């Protein structure tokens, strides 16, 4: 018997392997397009919560590849670096604005921060549109 949502867990695990071994967001983007059934030519929107030492390079890579990237940041220097990567970057006020993204990534330093942003009645996970993908790249405990 298959558990509900098992395919989504496989997608997240597979994506994590791609991130860690290849460090190329463009590979992830093209794989997601094929895996999730997005057709070539359809725009995909990526959302980032945390654009520091890990999230920043990932977001900039996607922007340079021409992907639409929305992000939430706290550090002005990090936000400027992503915005300067290309015209498809957009800074948003809070994580709730990322609910319409096709792929949402968190790159946060503490487990309680991930829980606060993603879980609970006001968490982003409850607001994501159907069919979207959530990836946690935070270097924290599960």
Q: pLDDT for 20-69, tens place per residue? A: 444 445 455 555 555 555 545 567 899 999 999 888 998 998 899 888 99
pTM: 0.72
Question: Which residues, 6 or more positions from 4, have their beta carbon under 8 angstroms from its beta carbon?
Answer: none
More confident residue, 83 or 15: 83
Does residue 18 carry a pLDDT above 90? no
**Residue whose pair of structure tokens reads 């996970």 in the numeric block:** 125
Is residue 130 exposed (0-12), middle (13-18) or buried (19+ Cβ within 10 Å)?
exposed
Provide the mean pLDDT of the chain. 78
The 10 Å Cβ neighbour count of residue 115 is 13
Better-predicted residue by pLDDT, 140 or 132: 132
């Amino acid at each position: 018997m298959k558990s509900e949502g098992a395919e989504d867990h496989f997608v997240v695990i597979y994506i994590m392997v791609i991130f860690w071994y290849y460090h190329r967001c463009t590979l992830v983007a093209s794989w997601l397009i094929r895996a999730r059934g997005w057709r070539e030519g359809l725009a995909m929107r990526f959302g980032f919560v945390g654009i520091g030492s890990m999230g920043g390079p990932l977001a900039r890579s996607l922007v340079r590849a021409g992907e639409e990237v929305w992000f939430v940041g706290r550090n002005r220097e990090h936000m400027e670096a992503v915005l300067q990567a290309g015209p498809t970057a957009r800074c948003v006020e809070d994580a709730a604005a990322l609910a319409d993204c096709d792929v949402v990534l968190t790159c946060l330093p503490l487990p309680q921060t991930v829980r606060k942003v993603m879980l609970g009645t006001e968490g982003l996970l409850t607001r994501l549109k159907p069919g979207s993908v959530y990836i946690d790249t935070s270097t924290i405990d599960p």
